[in-house]
Amino acid sequence: MARGPGGQETEVRAICRGELHKHCDRVWTDPGGNLIGIIETPLRKGGISSVDSIRVMAHLDEIAMVVKRVEENGTLRVVALGGANPVNFGVCPVDILAEQQILPGVLSFGSMHATAESPQGRDVQTGAVNWQDVHVITRLSAEDLKSAGVRPGTRVVLSQHWRKPWRVGDAVAAHFLDDRAPVLACLQAAALVASRKQDLHCDVYFVFTTMEEESNAGAMYAARTLPGTTTIAVEVGPVMSEYGTQLSANPIISTGDMKAYYTRAVCEQLQHAAERCGFEPQFALLLDFASDASAVLSNGVSAQAGCIAIPTENTHGYEMILMEGITACARTLSEYLSAFR
């Protein structure tokens, strides 16, 4: 239910901080806004580890919208913050994260009862809705919005009114399981790793990153400033025939995406960890996809990288996963980290 648009993930960060404190030796927020928890190897001597460190990344932010301009009549023109099209949200209630308060609004594509005289209506009727066709109705004046601190750059998110998860048989559906499900998997993995800390041969940094959907800015900063040569992204993975993936508990191991091909040895180590846990990992080359790990690998700030993902229907929409998928991802990740040398 927590709101977390890119660059303004305070609500999500606070929840994660409370959970990380239960399992990590230290927890802090870096200058880039990333929440970091470290579980230190018992092999540390004199406070300094003689072995490698590993960074596990899941992102705090969700796809959202950002105000481009405030119209004279008090409606807001918005554009995507992250990889979203208007259809990902639909016409729906929104929360406007103003400087002084949270204001209600309605995301609108205009009336359905339109003719060729209304270009916006024509776009809507054909299903080709673009951001230029979208506005947010506020029922406030431009002056009232200015007083509340609404301006270009203000974040607009799906209202909490529409965020409650929905159970469908053995699955759960909700907006923003990307990346809330992987965040939960990382928190579960932290608990598992802490419970078998004596097996650790490296320091593990759990990094909950900011601005992944827009620019991977948080991951880039963390990779430059934290120790370690290996980065693992924990993600949602699209369930599509194109990629040969299925909705199941078996984790997806990405071999590459639009930004980089992952390190073969890391992919194999994740595979073997999943198999030791009794799962049958799904391999996929996700060409229309990217992660924090592929971003840092492609920019040369991580020597090696891999990505493990929870199988997910309707990615960047009303997403659906199996709860078992979260646990399977956490167990695989814990096994991989315990075996890491």
Report domain extents, the chain. 10-62+176-339, 64-161
Strands 102-108 and 135-137: antiparallel
Q: What is the pLDDT of residue 53?
A: 93
Q: CB atoms < 10 A from the CB of 229, how many?
A: 12
- Residues 6 or more apart in contact with residue 50 via CB below 8 angstroms: 43
What separation in angstroms does the CA of 21 have from each of 35, 103, 112? 11, 32, 50
Query: Could you read off the pLDDT of 266-308 as tens digits, one per residue?
Result: 999 999 999 999 999 999 999 999 999 999 999 999 999 999 9
Query: Could you read off the pLDDT of 14-50 as tens digits, one per residue?
Result: 999 999 999 999 999 999 999 999 999 988 765 555 5
**Residue 158 — pLDDT band, cuts 50, 70, 90?**
very high
- Residue 20 and residue 198: Cα distance in Å, rounded? 19
Query: Could you read off the pLDDT of 87-100 as tens digits, one per residue?
Result: 889 899 999 999 98
The CATH class that applies to domain 64-161 reads mainly beta
Query: Could you read off the pLDDT of 164-198 as tens digits, one per residue?
Result: 999 999 999 999 999 999 999 999 999 999 999 99
153 three-state secondary structure: coil
Superfamily in which the 10-62+176-339 domain is placed by CATH:
Zn peptidases (3.40.630.10)
With a cut of 90, say whether residue 122 has pLDDT above it: no
Tokens 């607009």 label which residue?
156
Asked if residues 320 and 166 have their Cβ atoms less than 8 Å apart, the reply is no
How much is the pTM?
0.95
With a cut of 80, say whether residue 106 has pLDDT above it: yes
Q: What are phi and psi of 307, to 5 degrees?
A: -145, 125
Helix axes 264-276, 323-339, angle to 10 degrees: 110
Helix, strand, coil proportions of the chain in percent (round to 5)?
30, 30, 40
Cis-peptide, bond into residue 179, ω within 30° of zero: yes
* Residue of 296, 215, 220, 217 lying closest to 263 (CA atoms): 296
Strands 282-286 and 252-257: parallel
Asked if residues 35 and 20 have their Cβ atoms less than 8 Å apart, the reply is yes
Q: What's the mean per-residue pLDDT of the chain? A: 94
- Residue 238 and residue 272: Cα distance in Å, rounded? 22
**Residue 111 — pLDDT band, cuts 50, 70, 90?**
confident
Strands 282-286 and 76-81: unpaired
Burial-class residue 171 by CB neighbours within 10 Å (0-12, 13-18, 19+).
middle
